[in-house]
Amino acid sequence: MRVVRYIGKRMLFIGPQLFGIILVSFFLVKLIPGDPAVMMLGPLATEATLTELRNEMGLNLSLVEQFYIYIKNLVLHGDLGRSWQTTRPVTEDLFLRMPATLELITLGLILGLLIGVPLGVGAAYLKRGVLAKFSDYYGLLAGALPDFWLALVLIFFFYTILGWVPPPLGRLDFFTIAPPTVTGALLIDSLLDGNWAALGSAAGHLILPVITLGLISGGPILKMTQSTMDRMLESDYSRYEEMCGLPKSIIIRHALRNSLPSVVTIVSVLYGFLIGGAVLVEIVFSWGGAGQYAVQGVLNADINPVLGFVFFAAVLSLIIYLIVDLIYFAIDPRVRG
């Protein structure tokens, strides 16, 4: 029963948070330069034709009226508008493209965890060792390097020079037949279909973008793990365990378990950040995900895809934070109390 009350309290905040995000993003997106009517009809269109299209799109209304219509359609019909580039509903486009983005950032974060947590634990335990120095340098570099620059460097070495990976052009090789769409994640869909050629091609195309996001996200995970483990290993209970003669492995395991809430927090923050932050990586690898779709909307003054992407990203982020709250509820007795 306490779990239900806990979830209910968290759910109460989701509506106002989403409304605030939509409100701010709507008026910011309207500041994007460019006339959608001109972009659609071209510079040779007559003023009468442009005016007619603007009236049809509601661009002749005030911003407040446009926002009211947008919110009404979203709440009553789940309608995020249409993209004039694809001529399809934005919701449909995002459901097609978002799995590609989620597959990429999920695998990137898993790699970041595999890099950051062991290095953070090792650096906290071996404070003056080579591993600690390496972790410090890696943490600094991961926080300073732009993800798109790292992606370009990896492409240059592993594709252009060595030829070990497929070209950075989408999610599958050109002649590979894509599996039927079930989840939208090519690795899972290929496994479900038993399409081993598509599975190998999808895995090959994932290597460099996943390494890019994994190396970048591993830095903050390392720093959070290291700082939290430092505190735990210096705490009274760790010293007491050491005085009692417990093996180092058990002391480290207990310290890591008590560090989990902080690690879970940074992973949830990174996941929400990467939904939008992986946009440049998607562009570099021609990934065709939701982030690249939103950028094309910005460049072409097609605002509905941009607003739709922001809405989807906000919903996913809030769901992730709710899941993290539930994990806290399960592992932290202070929250349950």
d(CA 305, CA 99) in angstroms, rounded, equals 16
pTM assigned to the model: 0.88
Is position 173 within any domain? Answer: yes
CATH assignment at residue 113? 1.10.3720.10
pLDDT, position 336? 57
**Distance (Å, rounded) from C-alpha 257 to C-alpha 245?**
19
Q: Could you say which residues of the chain have pLDDT below 70? A: 1-3, 331-337
Q: Is residue 197 part of a domain?
A: yes
Residue numbers of the domain that contains 182 = 100-298
Q: Is residue 55 in some structural domain? A: no
Beta bridge partners of 82: 89
* Closest to 100 measured CA to CA, from 159, 38, 171, 32: 171
Residue 208 within any structural domain of the chain: yes
Helix (H) or strand (E) holding 134: helix 130-144
* Number of separate domains in the chain: 1
Q: How far apart are alpha carbons 106 and 314 in whole angstroms?
A: 17
In a domain, 57, yes or no: no
**Is the CB of residue 179 less than 8 Å from the CB of residue 194?**
no
Q: Position of tokens 């070990």?
A: 164
Asked whether 239 and 251 are in contact (CB, 8 A), the reply is: no
The verdict on residue 288 lying in a domain is yes
State pLDDT tens for residues 213-248.
999 999 999 999 989 998 888 888 888 888 888 888
What's the confidence (pLDDT) of residue 15? Answer: 84
Tell me if 200 is assigned to some domain: yes
How many residues does the structure list for the chain?
337
Residue 253 lies in a domain: yes
